[in-house]
Amino acid sequence: MHSEVRIKAGAAKEAATVLGTVSTAVKNAALQAIADALRRETAQILEANRLDMEAAGAKGLSGAFIERLMLDESRVESMSRGLEELIGLADPVGEVVDGRRLPNGLEIVKVRVPLGVVGIIYESRPNVTVDAAGLCLKAGNAVILRGGSEAINSNKALVGIATAAAVEAGVPKKALQLIETTNRAAAEEMMGLAGYIDVLIPRGGAGLIRTVIEKAKVPVIETGVGNCHTYVDAAADLNMAARIAFNAKVQRPGVCNAMETLLIHRSIADIFLPDMCHSFRQAGIEIRGDETVCALCKEAVPATEEDWYTEYLALTLSIKVVDDLNEAIAHIRKYGSGHSEAIVTGNLAAARRFTREIDAAAVYINASTRFTDGSEFGLGAEIGISTQKLHARGPMGLQALTSSKFIIAGEGQIRGACPEEGVRPSVKK
């Protein structure tokens, strides 16, 4: 007897062969239909989410976790708008990305094609359900979603609504699948379904991502833990630096592009730190710092070695005073996760060196790390932010959900030396 995972993966594989040939018009109509249905069924979605929120509260889950789980009317509307933004983006499927005519007359073109079946294993953020479904649909991929158990009611409602709307618009019925089994064995089974799932994308904390990378037999695109830094240089405009640092940490602390460590040049620490710490304290931020920080910010507590590695996703921030740009770069190289790093400076040479020597998916000059996002980058909704270097890096939009193939057209060309005329194969007329 086949499991739910295997049955749905098989159905998704069959649907993918059809979806890959569906026209842009049909895919866009489906995206609009889903967006309209989400708005129309907002009450149903919020009722399902209320059940998840109550269960999360009863389990005593953290405020940051509950913030990611929560849906309201504005978030449902944001999901709908994200789908509509995808409609306005060019369909990557069939796009010619390269082409040439060889000396032997062969015409070669390289075109984008869907990946096939994309599996998403993610934690309890219901918006990922809609973002992933929309992106995969537009890129011609069937998708298998396995969300966190804490969001199961929200995800069932969202997928049910989206599937009905997409099928009505002409999308294959099994192109969007939700794994409703909430035990970990289901996720591990997805990791082993080579031949059914073409690529796995984990979205969540370090533990989830590490588990998928270690256990998967299916190719994995690693989405990133965001241990993001902001370095305030000696030549920084301190008012600008204060606005950037505050936004990077406080605007939405529970997401992967939020700042987790603030680095400050020693020459400006006694000017910059006291007011900055006061602003953070007013926003409810717990500060963990080195000796200098603790001396200048009475509310700070000593940071441990582990703190420098930690993605808090919460109202907690590590702060370190560094002697110069060299030490800032060295700190980020040692503790950073390759996600998003920022420098605030008026020194062009320092900015250029920072961007050249910091190895991350997104490197900022005089801007908040909070901009690392598919929508902010003009890509529409994102499937995740890749911190690896193969296939895709940074916010992953439509193009990242495609592969490519070569199409070669000839007029009878063959490779190598031809046989003697008398033994050359031929067909008698």
Which CATH number belongs to the domain containing residue 258 in this structure?
Answer: 3.40.309.10
CATH number at residue 87: 3.40.605.10
Where is 334: in which H helix or E strand? Answer: helix 325-335
**Number of continuous H segments (helices) and E segments (strands) in the chain:** 15, 16
Whether 413 is covered by a domain: the verdict is: no
Q: Which residues contact 280 (CB under 8 A, 6 or more apart)?
A: 246, 249, 250, 287, 317
- 39, 88: one domain: yes
Same domain, 210 and 96: yes
Which pLDDT does position 289 carry in this prediction? 98
- DSSP state for residue 324 in the 8-state scheme: S
Residues 246, 164 within the same domain: no
**Model pLDDT, residue 421:** 55
Question: How confident is the model over 68-101, as pLDDT tens digits?
Answer: 899 999 999 999 998 999 999 999 999 999 999 9
In a domain, 286, yes or no: yes
- Looking at the fold, whether 103 and 184 belong to one and the same domain comes out as yes
In this predicted structure, the answer to whether residue 426 has a pLDDT above a threshold of 80 is no
Task: Quote the CA–CA distance of 315 and 284 in Å, as a whole number.
Answer: 7
Give domain status of residue 419, yes or no. no
Strands 394-395 and 385-386: antiparallel
Whether 34 and 167 have beta carbons less than 8 Å apart is answered as no
| Chain centroid to CA 394 | 8
Residues 265 and 210 in one domain: no
How confident is the model at residue 225, as a pLDDT? 84
Residues 97, 236: one domain?
no
Asked whether residue 167 falls in the same domain as residue 297, the answer is: no
What's the pLDDT tens digit per position in 358-379?
Answer: 999 999 999 999 999 988 888 7
pTM of the model: 0.84
Looking at residue 261, its pLDDT comes to: 98
Arithmetic mean of pLDDT, 207-214: 89
Q: Kindly tell me the sign of the dihedral angle through the C-alpha atoms of 311, 315, 320, 325.
A: positive
* Same domain membership, residue 303 and residue 213: no
**Residues 218 and 293 reside in one and the same domain:** no
Q: What angle (nearest 5°) sits at the alpha carbon of residue 229, between those of residues 228 and 230?
A: 135
Model pLDDT, residue 400: 93
One domain for residues 187 and 283: no
**Residue 384 forms part of a structural domain:** no
Structural domain span for residue 279: 228-371
Does pLDDT of 418 surpass 70?
no
User: What kind and span of H or E run contains 121?
Assistant: strand 117-122
| CA–CA separation, 418 and 291 (whole Å) | 79
Q: Looking at the domain assignment, is residue 414 inside a domain? A: no
Structure confidence by residue, pLDDT tens digits, 377-394: 887 677 888 988 888 899
Q: What is the pLDDT of residue 292?
A: 97
The first and second tokens of residue 226, run together, are 């965001």
Q: Confidence band (pLDDT; 50, 70, 90) for 357?
A: very high
Q: Is 239 exposed, middle or buried (0-12, 13-18, 19+ CB in 10 A)?
A: exposed
- Strand segments (E) across 282-410: 286-289, 301-302, 316-322, 340-344, 362-365, 385-386, 394-395, 402-409
Are 162 and 281 members of one domain?
no
Counted domains in the chain: 2
Going by the DSSP 8-state scheme, the letter that residue 400 receives in this structure is: G
Q: What is the 3-state secondary structure (H, E, C) of 81-94?
A: HHHHHHHCCCCCCC
pLDDT at residue 204 in the model: 80
* 64 and 201 inside one domain: yes
Residue 348 lies in a domain: yes
